[in-house]
Chain A
């Protein structure tokens, strides 16, 4: 039984390799210029009616393409067949950096290319025109094309070290061109200069998963290693976030000023008292006072005349109507003197304590002061303490605004740092002038 919607069978022409006699399959439908025999790796001129060997090798390093030749797949909405594979390399500081390039062919749409380096894939289209190269503003040369600016990332002598299958140009192992890569990730432009010939191509970073989904080669796509020159930065630009932070910081500052202006900040009670530690009963209650508004804070302020002594105040703010008491305590101490270092002091004569979320109503304060009853050590303790007690309703609270503002800037800062760090790692590998690169020589051509 025929399977539904059978895939069209690719038209393949087979020729015999004049060097080894092996079979060489041609899939380029006459569009290919050179083909490489997979058996002896000889490069053949397939445009010539009599197939000519243009290059043969005694021994050559062999590479295995991740996508087998003849594999078909739909990429960018068009069906392509993999008809050629080459390995190219640059040599930097004695190290060889090699990458894979695949030739894709569609008889209606022509040739496209895929390049792969350490799991990073780029889909490449030849450009029918030249990009404009200019000196960027202090950042080195830039290429401009279709309204986009690409920064020069690398200049190197690119050497072809292995070929397999068919190519639309006269490919040769050992062929060296000057290659310049420009980036505007995820896009890139490549300029290849060979003698007087200049070719431009435009690339776009593509995931290995997308390649595998299209061509379904065996295995899994290799995990990308390192940061590639046109790899998109995974950290989004923080421009919007900076604007958001600026806007909300301004809003918080406005709200903080509004809080300062509109807080009740009303002194509802104030009186001055004198406390004698020897008194029989120290506790007393104040006259009642009104706390207005909804739930708001209440601050009790103490201004004493303490000197080398302490006093402790036990407060109970009691609601006359409900009988609810809010108990708090506050110690005030102040010590001073002179020694070999001069004047010193510790503590303070004034202090305050705040209660949050106190409902409105009529309240009175029960106060129970306490202090030292006898001289302690070298200090002379004042026998009585005079203090002014103030009760303030609705003190402005601004610390939440001041606390929130730094938090607003954390995300944009982290995002910008991560993004800059990624770009720093990317550009640490850049060699725009090609200072470290040279054309290696490891051919074994006959």
Chain B
């Protein structure tokens, strides 16, 4: 039991350190590869999937 706890503690510490040092975030974004270089000259030509994102526009 004590040995299992030691191993579990090592795993937890190792895992937490890895996530901490690599700056882990669950949000990886929506990755699109090979977007055209023309975006620099014509930013309006690029539309990501978030363009029709539903948003709350209320208030009290």
Contacts and interface: CB of A to CB of B under 8 A. Distances in A.
Interface of A: 236, 240-241, 244-245, 247-248, 251-252, 255-256, 259, 262-263, 281, 283-285, 294-297, 308, 310, 312, 314, 316-318, 322-329, 331, 333, 335, 337, 339, 344, 346, 353-357, 364, 366, 368, 372, 376-377, 379, 394-398, 400-401, 403-404, 407-408, 411-412, 415
Interface in B3-49: 4-6, 8-10, 12-13, 15-17, 19-37, 39-40, 43-44, 46, 48-49
Contact of A324 (B9, B27, B35, B50): B35
B12 A354 contact: no
Contacts of A411: 1, 4-5, 8
Contacts of B60: 335, 337, 339, 344, 346
B40 A397 contact: no
6 contacts: A252-B16, A255-B20, A296-B22, A324-B32, A337-B60, A398-B20
A262 B4 CA distance: 31
A137 to B, nearest CB: 28
Going nearest first, the 4 A-B pairs with the smallest beta carbon separation are A356-B25, A335-B59, A297-B23, A329-B50
A259 B1 contact: no
Given A248-B13, A285-B43, A372-B57, A400 B35 contact: no
Contact of A248 (B12, B25, B34): B12
Interface of B: 1-2, 4-6, 8-10, 12-13, 15-17, 19-37, 39-40, 43-44, 46, 48-51, 53, 55-60
Contacts of B25: 297, 354-357, 397
A263 B13 contact: no
A64 B9 CA distance: 53
Contact of B28 (A262, A283, A355): A355
B16 A403 contact: yes
Given A295-B22, A297-B23, A328 B50 contact: yes
